[in-house]
Structure formats: structure tokens, C-alpha cells
């Protein structure tokens, strides 16, 4: 029997993240909790305080879908956060294929043809499974270009490389939690999570906040050691034929300084072309 109370942990974290004012409750002076009290969540969800308390304590492990939907509304969960609540509350409904770690040759050829933009494929645990030469050049300041989350939290170079490291860290953790929710118990994910939690107190603290948000697109600011400032747009495209994989692509505004920076980066990447292939495949357990 699994003694972990992931549903209770999640409910407490999300309850602490919602203030009474945001939830539409009147201000009642000093409070002992940063967010909502249990009785307030119960009131907003239309359930008894005792029942909600049993959910948080793990004494009630079979909530109905109606109750989960009501609690999601009470905690103001967005679509992704609510979906995670349903997965925790109804684990018997979790089905789906395991994540794929081998990158299809056709996708490798596609990335090889993308010579003007950095492109790489990441797996469910944010391992870099394959990358083109421009992506390798973009991340060349890191000791290893192998796992995006480990790079952010464990490589000192990341603090200067990311123009807003705090935002990058928060986004990476929320994205990793979304992946962990989609593939619960996957060995590689468990290994990455365990290692990061043990080696990075900052990661452990952010992980405990239970923010969940798949990273699909955003604007990024990098400080490349040889190219300088780069403001790039990021897109993550799901590889539907390989569950857990995403094709990540960076682009720059045409005519911008960052577009010129990518041209310079391409020249740097092409310099050792005779010695190195355009695409480097990587294998992770």
C-alpha cells in the first residue's frame, strides 16, 4: 500500500496559494495561514469541513469527480492544475503509453535541415535526446547539454546565462511537474526528481509549491558568452508519435539584434563542422 498522501500535499499547497481576497471572501484580520483555511475551501466547494479535512489528511482517498471539480473551482485551478487534481484524486483513471526516449530518424533529419534556428528534442524528464548544431552552440557554456532542469539548478553557468534565472527556474519546475503528472512513476523522472531534490534546496522548495504548467511557448532572454544578449521566442511542439517528446525551437524577430546574433552563432557552430555532425543523438535510461 502506498502511504504517500500526494492528494493532501497538493491540496495544502494550492490552498496556501489562494488569498481570501482573490477567492472573494471578506478580510477577517490576522490569519495564521498564508492562504485559505480548510473550512473556507470546504465552504467554497460545498462540502463539509470534516470531509475536506479527511481529504487533506489522506483518510479519504476516493473523492467523487463532482467533489474534485468543486474543489478545483474553489481553489481557482486552471485547466492544467485541475487536470492534475483529477489524476491524484482518481488514479485508477490514469492510462496511457510510457514515454519514448528514442528519437525517430525522420525527426533527426528535420532538425538537421533547420540550420537557421536552434532546435532540439527533449523527453519527459527534460533530457535532451537530440539537438542540431545551432542548439549545441547556444548551450555551449554549460558543462553538459543533457538535461534542461539539471542545467538550470546544478550548473553555476545558468545564473548568468538566463536573463531571468528565477523565472526560468520556476517555469522549469512547473513544466517538470506537469510531465511527472502525465507519466507517474516513470523511472527516469523519479531519478531526475530524486537527484535534484537532494542536491538543490531551491529546486526542492519550488517543487513543494506544486505549481503545474506545461511549457509550450515563451520569450527567453539569454546571455551567450560569445554572442552576447539574445532575445528569442521559444516554441515546444509535441511529437505525437512519441509520447513525452517535444521538439523545442528558438526563433528571433527578423531584422533584430538577436537575429544577427543567431547568424553569428551559426557561424560559430559551423566552424567545427568537418569534425562534428550536425545532429548529436543522446540516450538516457
Scan for cell 557552430, then name that residue.
269
Q: Which of 26-35, 39-48, 191-200, 230-239 has the lowest mean pLDDT?
A: 26-35
- Residue 94: per-residue pLDDT: 59
**Which residues have CB under 8 Å from 138's CB, separation 6+?**
118, 222, 224, 230, 250, 265
Tell me the C-alpha distance between 187 and 33, whole Å.
Answer: 36
Tell me the C-alpha distance between 158 and 164, whole Å.
Answer: 10
pLDDT tier at 276, thresholds 50, 70, 90: very low
- Residue 283: per-residue pLDDT: 45
pLDDT tier at 3, thresholds 50, 70, 90: low
Residue 280: C-alpha distances to residues 13, 101, 277 (Å): 40, 14, 7
The DSSP secondary structure of the chain, one letter per residue, reads -----HHHHHHHHHHHT--HHHHTPPP-S--SSSS--HHHHHHHHTS-HHHHHHHHHTS-----HHHHHHHHHHTT--HHHHHHHHHHH-GGG---PPPP-SPPHHHHHHHHH--SS-EEEE-TT-BEEEE-HHHHHHTTTSS--SBHHHHHHH-TTHHHHBTTHHHHHHHHHHHHHHHHHHSTT-HHHHHHHHHHHHH-HHHHHHHTTT------EEEEEEEETTTEEEEEEEEEEE-TTSTT-EEEEEE--TTSHHHHHHHHHHHHHHTTTTTS-S-EE----
Whether 46 contacts 66, CB under 8 Å: no
- Residue 107: per-residue pLDDT: 96
Write the pLDDT tens digit of every residue in 142-170. 999 999 999 999 999 999 999 999 999 99
Higher local confidence (pLDDT), 38 or 33: 38
Q: Which of 67-81, 200-214, 259-273 has the lowest mean pLDDT?
A: 259-273
Scan for cell 506545461, then name that residue.
214
Amino acid at each position: 500500500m502506498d502511504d504517500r498522501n500526494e492528494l493532501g500535499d497538493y491540496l495544502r499547497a494550492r490552498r496556501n496559494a489562494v488569498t481570501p481576497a482573490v477567492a472573494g471572501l471578506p478580510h477577517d484580520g490576522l490569519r495564521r495561514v498564508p492562504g485559505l483555511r480548510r473550512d473556507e475551501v470546504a465552504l467554497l466547494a460545498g462540502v463539509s469541513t470534516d470531509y475536506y479535512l479527511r481529504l487533506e489528511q489522506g483518510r479519504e482517498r476516493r473523492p467523487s469527480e463532482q467533489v474534485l471539480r468543486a474543489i478545483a473551482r474553489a481553489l481557482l485551478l486552471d485547466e492544467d492544475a485541475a487536470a492534475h487534481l483529477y489524476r491524484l484524486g482518481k488514479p485508477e483513471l490514469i492510462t496511457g503509453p510510457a514515454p519514448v526516449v528514442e528519437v525517430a530518424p525522420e525527426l533527426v533529419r528535420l532538425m538537421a535541415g533547420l540550420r537557421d534556428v536552434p532546435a532540439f528534442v527533449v523527453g519527459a524528464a527534460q533530457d535532451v535526446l537530440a539537438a542540431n548544431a545551432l542548439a549545441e552552440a547556444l548551450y555551449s557554456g554549460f558543462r553538459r547539454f543533457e538535461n534542461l532542469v539539471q542545467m538550470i539548478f546544478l550548473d553555476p553557468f545558468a545564473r548568468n546565462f538566463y536573463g531571468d534565472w528565477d523565472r526560468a527556474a520556476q517555469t522549469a519546475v512547473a513544466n517538470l511537474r506537469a510531465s511527472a503528472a502525465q507519466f507517474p512513476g516513470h523511472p527516469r523522472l523519479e531519478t531526475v526528481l530524486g537527484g535534484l531534490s537532494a542536491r538543490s534546496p531551491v529546486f526542492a522548495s519550488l517543487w513543494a509549491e506544486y505549481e503545474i504548467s506545461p511549457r509550450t511557448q515563451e520569450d527567453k532572454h539569454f546571455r551567450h558568452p560569445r554572442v552576447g544578449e539574445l532575445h528569442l521566442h521559444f516554441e515546444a511542439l509535441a511529437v505525437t508519435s512519441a509520447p513525452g517528446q517535444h521538439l523545442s525551437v528558438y526563433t528571433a524577430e527578423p531584422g533584430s539584434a538577436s537575429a544577427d546574433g543567431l547568424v553569428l552563432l551559426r557561424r560559430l557552430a559551423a566552424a567545427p563542422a568537418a569534425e562534428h555532425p550536425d545532429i548529436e543523438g543522446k540516450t538516457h535510461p
